[in-house]
Structure 1
Amino acid sequence: MKASIVLVVLGTSGLFSCAKDNPEKALTLENSTVLFGSYYDECGGEQCIEIYKLDTVTQSLSEDTKDDYPTSASPYDGTYVARTTAEFDAVKDLVQQIPLTLLAKEGVVIGQPDAGDWGGYYLEVQNGEERRYWLIDTKKENLPAYLHSFTDVLRARLNQLQ
């Protein structure tokens, strides 16, 4: 029994060492910029689209002022203004909450974001030249289980910034 546990631990440690051998192929959360927010199409006012930029290198938070509706065609292109250090401190842990399973996920759309006017979440991770983004449903029943707790945290952090 103990021998099989050791083999499993040794075997899985090899899975994680690949990223160190080929860092340009691995998207990581360390020293990254994370864009996150929510959007609603059938909505009126400035609160309909809220996208933020969390930079772990400069330890800063900015808010997008363009408020364009995110699409699956390309990553979000915003214009950002700085937010306070206190607001950065309130959301800086969001980076550690992103499930690593998501980083390996193929495709951009997860669930049916904003399909029934219930909105969607936007998430993007930029690390060096690597840039991945996702449009995520706000309804848990449309999401894989690995995203449930993350979307709870994301919703809470967005509420803190309003």
Structure 2
Amino acid sequence: MRKAVLFLFSLGILTSCSGDAESPEVNESNYLIFGHFYGQCEGETCVETFKLTDEKLYEDIIDDHSGQNLEFVELENSSFEEVKNLADFFPVQLLNENEPVIGCPDCADGGGLFIQYSIDGNLKSWRIDQDKENVPGYLHEFMDKVNEKITLINN
């Protein structure tokens, strides 16, 4: 399944390339945005949101809890190298979720995850409860990986 997601993610990138093999153009509409948010929190790490493409990693500098206002700046390549495989863990089942909210993100001050997935301009977004008891099991490994990658970026 991980290979299928990676294939879909890569396919969107590859199909956007020009015929010039030496300077392919990256389709900027293919990306994974991931982050966490905590409402009853103070400080820089309360809202962390990142945008991952196949070549770069960006950090949101607005830190809006809603995920509606995003402004990204490019991070160093070393941070990209730490997280570039996150799309391998994206669960394909999530694309079938009809509701944009899964569980009750941050209702019990436990925080939430913000996930946005775009392939060829087709965009889907979710806010996911950090409490695994409130979300389907297929999300657990991905949730762990998102939290792990955020920690790696922030260290």
* Band the TM-score falls in, shorter-chain normalisation: 0.7 to 0.9
2:86 counterpart of 1:94: yes
Where does 1:19-58 land on structure 2 (aligned, <5 Å)?
28-30=8-10, 31=13, 32-56=30-54
Output the amino acid matched with 2:37: Y
d(CA) in 2 for partners of 1:82, 1:114: 28
Show the counterpart of 1:4: none
Q: Secondary structure at the match of 1:50?
A: strand
The question of whether the paired residues in 2 share the 8 Å contact of 1:121 and 1:137 is answered with yes
Aligned pair partner of 1:119 in 84, 90, 111: 111
Aligned residues: 130
CA RMSD of aligned residues (A): 1.4
What TM-score do you get using the length of structure 1 for normalisation?
0.76
Q: What letter corresponds to residue 33 of structure 1 in structure 2?
A: Y
Q: In terms of Rg, which structure is larger?
A: 1
Which position in structure 1 is the counterpart of 2:24?
none
1:5-84 mapped onto 2 (5 Å cutoff): 28-30=8-10, 31=13, 32-56=30-54, 59-70=55-66, 76-84=68-76
- Partner AA of 2:145 in structure 1: V
Unaligned ranges ≥5, structure 1: 1-15, 17-27
3-state SS, counterpart of residue 29 of structure 1: helix
**Which whole-Å CA distance do the structure 2 matches of 1:151 and 1:129 have between them?**
24
Distance of 1:153 and 1:61 partners within structure 2: 16
- Percent identical across equivalent pairs? 33
Q: Which runs of 5+ in 2 are unaligned?
A: 14-29
- Aligned letter for 1:37? G
